[in-house]
Amino acid sequence: MPLPLPLNYLIFDHSEDTEGIGTFEAMASVTADHLAAVHAEVASVLAWAFATFTDAHGPLDQGFDWDHDLLVQQESTTLHTVTLLLSGGTAFCRAFAERFPAD
């Protein structure tokens, strides 16, 4: 499996709830000329997650290992904000943190 792209726009913050569910959230606000690069990073992260945790994507409360939300907003004629949220159990969070370490 090819390695995901290096992340230049998405910087993930990690949090964990009292039930052991971890969440990684990244937000990038960019002008239109950088939007394609942000979308490429999102696609790379999601491709890694789908390939690494095959058939494990879906609502966590239904027993799946990981889930995600993606929100893209046009803030103005020139500014776009992309938010990617991934949540998962211990195994997913450990693998995600190893593949996409915080600086």
Per-residue model confidence (pLDDT) at position 101: 82
Token readout for 26 is 């990244």
- Condensed to tens digits (0 to 9), the pLDDT of residues 41-79 reads 999 999 999 999 999 999 999 999 999 999 999 999 899
- Condensed to tens digits (0 to 9), the pLDDT of residues 4-40 reads 567 999 999 999 988 889 999 999 999 999 999 999 9
> What is the average pLDDT across 80-101?
94
Neighbours of 72 (CB within 10 A): 13
Are 68 and 96 contacting, i.e. CB atoms less than 8 angstroms apart?
no
3-state secondary structure of 90: helix
Per-residue model confidence (pLDDT) at position 53: 95
Distance CA 53, CA 48 (A): 8
Distance CA 33, CA 47 (A): 23
> What is the average pLDDT across 71-100?
94
